[in-house]
Amino acid sequence: MRPSRSRVSIKDVSRHAGVSVSTVSHVLNGTRYVSPELRARVEAAITALDYRHNGLARSLRTRRSYTIGLIIPDVSNPYYPQLARGVQDTADEAGYAVFLCNSDRRPEQEVRLVAALEQRQVDGIILDAAGPTPELLTALRRLRQPVVLVGSRIDEPDFDRVMMAPHGSYDAVRYLLSRGHRRVALIGGPPVFGSTRPTKAAGYLAALAEAGIEPDPALIMQGDYTREGGRLAMHRLLALSAPPTAVFAGNDLMALGALVAAREAGVRVPEDIAIVGYDDIPEASVAVPALTTVAVPKYEMGRVAAELLLARLRGEGSQQPQRIELPHRLVIRASA
């Protein structure tokens, strides 16, 4: 006889699935690895019995909320939903929920969000920050919860970090130079707080220096990581008395905006000017022309960050802060 919903217990689930109570507990709480076969049996039993896990009782017993806070700069940028999905899928497998927060790249908002997540007693925070402002670093260092930083704008050695390998912009500009371009422009993002240079500038300048090319300040434009920001920056570049023959944009949205500006100005891509982006968002491959870009593993970055945070919550791994770098690759398409 099937127990009524109000009386279904973890023991009922274990009997129905033919596994131990501890195995059911590990599936529910994400406290230990369970083979896919056993996990499937437990999940089938939960569905068949309509079992309702008492999350409040678990939280009171373990003194955990089984929630994670994720702070990202811009949920409307197609880069970040893919990263967030990597975090959520990994958290779901471990029995954790994710609070998603949007900072709009405002440092003061990041500090407020960190405080709000702390008040909600999340077990840990994953953060892609605008930069290492003193206020943010102070807020992070006083947290009792573990923090994992994603992205490359904070490289503080006392935090766990998941970053991209640092040579993506260098590889992109070096490719353009190999195609014979000598006037290569940069549409960078806003300066990282604490730095006066647009992001991605270091690799751009390194590639020019290697080729013996003196950088022209007129070819270095500051964008805002939006399509419109890229469009406006491209119009300024095309208005120069000696416009560039190639452009590297610090993300795909700005590169797509640059494509729009070129079309508006009657400039052909890639015949008159080549354009390369960064991120490889889904729209890059269907743009006209398709966008050459630096592909980064967005989902993988979220997954690795969540795994690192969960390992901290379980007390696993090295006690020293971890720095994990993920690879990029140059995807050559029609725009360059």
Mean pLDDT of the chain: 90
**Residue range(s) defining the domain that contains residue 112:** 64-165+298-327
Same domain, 174 and 273: yes
**Overall pTM surpassing 0.85 (yes/no):** no
Residue at 58 is within a domain: no
Same domain, 179 and 286: yes
Q: 157-203, pLDDT tens digit by residue?
A: 889 999 988 899 999 999 999 999 999 999 998 877 655 455 689 99
Number of domains in the chain: 3
Contact (CB, 8 A) for 132 and 193: yes
CA 274 to chain centre: 27
Same domain, 175 and 156: no
Same domain, 206 and 303: no
Residue at 154 is within a domain: yes
Measured between alpha carbons, how far is 192 from 302 in angstroms, rounded to an integer? Answer: 21
The better pLDDT of the pair 292, 317 is held by: 292
CATH number of the domain that 280 lies in? 3.40.50.2300
Average pLDDT over residues 303-328: 93
Residue at 59 is within a domain: no
Residue at 250 is within a domain: yes
Contact (CB, 8 A) for 291 and 335: yes
Same domain, 9 and 69: no
Measured between alpha carbons, how far is 140 from 331 in angstroms, rounded to an integer? Answer: 36
The residues facing 99 across adjacent strands are 69
Res. 56 pLDDT band, cuts 50 70 90: very low
- Residue 4 confidence (pLDDT): 47
Measured between alpha carbons, how far is 176 from 174 in angstroms, rounded to an integer? Answer: 5
3-state secondary structure at position 254:
helix
Same domain, 233 and 128: no
Same domain, 103 and 203: no
Residue at 149 is within a domain: yes
Contact (CB, 8 A) for 240 and 209: no
- Residue 165 confidence (pLDDT): 85
Measured between alpha carbons, how far is 276 from 217 in angstroms, rounded to an integer? Answer: 19
Q: 213-222, pLDDT tens digit by residue?
A: 999 999 999 9
Residue at 98 is within a domain: yes
> 55 pLDDT exceeds 80?
no
